[in-house]
Amino acid sequence: MDPRDQYPKPEYDGGDLTPPGLTSQMPDRPDHGEETYRGSGRLTGRKAVITGGDSGIGRAVAIAYAREGADVLISYLPEEEPDARETAAWIEKAGRKAVTVPGDIRDEAHCRAIIDRAVSDLGGLDILVNNAAYQMAQPGGIADITDEQFDRVMKTNLYAMFWLCRAAVPHLRPGATIINTASVQAYLSSSALVDYATTKGGIVAFTKALAEDLADKGVRVNAVAPGPIWTPLIPATMPEEKVKSFGGDTPLGRAGQPAELAAAYVYFASPESSYTTGEVLGVTGGKPVS
């Protein structure tokens, strides 16, 4: 199939969403692989935590992991409960255990609680996917970024990742993996996303440093760098004119769908990537990540 035509091209209708946004409110709903992803047992018996697992990339990864044989805990904001229930249903439909943990990962105690719930409710932890993120486009650039917004972006995207990893490491055995969600914004940074791009560059550096730190424990750390991916975050945080044309500037001429990211996260979680750590895999529709 021609990748340019595999999914719709702009314009997109995301609906009138307020942050964090719900999938059910989007006229043009994303594809999370609900009807297409086929598992082959690559993660049988594994225990995974996925932050932001209610929707978007997180939901696609949760569905794929469950169909590959993993039990999955998803964390999300309380206002995202409807999306979380739908994701949990897909996990259970795959015959795996689903644990849902609402709360705000800007709170260190909640990050520790997520890991504790994985250990108690799933029986251990093998895969940590730091996927939750916050952005709010400011076309006016740095002058329009308030201290409150900057703090929220930093706490959600960087602090929480650090807190979750620090809490998880004592529970990770050799063969475990940490997978962080970076972004093409770490390499092709937008002036409207100064704070967000800053955190995504930090995630790349953190991934490489932590990979070196944990290598002697047999724990691998990698990152996926998505390009423009169609999720509720986009219509909830970007100007309408940008939403309509979203992804149209990629070489493939369209936004990506969450389903197109799932295989990358499965690869990094599976033994197939056993000699890969400290790497960033771009899934960007052709935009460079180097």
- Domain membership of residue 16 (yes or no) is no
Range of the domain at 251: 39-283
- Mean pLDDT in the chain? 97
Q: In this structure, what DSSP letter does residue 103 have?
A: S
Q: What is the pLDDT confidence band of residue 224, given thresholds at 50, 70 and 90?
A: very high
b/e burial code for range 44-79 (CB count within 10 A of at least 16 → b): eebbbbbbbbbbbbbbbbbbbbbbbbbbbbbbbbee
196 in active site = yes
In the chain, pLDDT over 70 holds for what percent of residues? 100
Mean pLDDT to the nearest integer, 248-274: 98
- Domain membership of residue 50 (yes or no) is yes
Mean pLDDT to the nearest integer, 114-128: 98
| pLDDT given for residue 290 in this prediction | 79
Options 196, 265, 267, 275, the catalytic residue: 196
Structure confidence by residue, pLDDT tens digits, 142-181: 999 999 999 999 999 999 999 999 999 999 999 999 999 9
- Domain membership of residue 15 (yes or no) is no
**Pairwise CA distance, residues 261 & 211, whole Å:** 21
Residue whose tokens read 């004119």:
241
Residue 265 has pLDDT above 90, yes or no: yes
Structure confidence by residue, pLDDT tens digits, 177-218: 999 999 999 999 999 999 999 999 999 999 999 999 999 999
Beta bridge partners of 48: 72, 127
Q: In this structure, what CATH number is given to the domain that contains residue 192? A: 3.40.50.720
Mean pLDDT to the nearest integer, 224-238: 94
Collect contacts of 206-214 with beta carbons under 8 A, ≥24 apart: 206/158, 206/161, 206/162, 206/180, 207/180, 207/182, 207/278, 207/280, 208/278, 210/165, 210/178, 211/277, 211/278, 212/278, 214/169, 214/172, 214/178
Structure confidence by residue, pLDDT tens digits, 49-98: 999 999 999 999 999 999 999 999 999 999 999 999 999 999 999 999 99
- Domain membership of residue 22 (yes or no) is no
- Domain membership of residue 1 (yes or no) is no
**Pairwise CA distance, residues 49 & 45, whole Å:** 13
- Domain membership of residue 221 (yes or no) is yes
- Domain membership of residue 169 (yes or no) is yes
Number of domains in the chain: 1
pTM for the model stands at 0.96
| Backbone angles phi and psi of 222, in degrees to 5 | -140, 175
- Domain membership of residue 7 (yes or no) is no
Which residue, 180, 53, 64, 171, is CA-closest to 122? 171
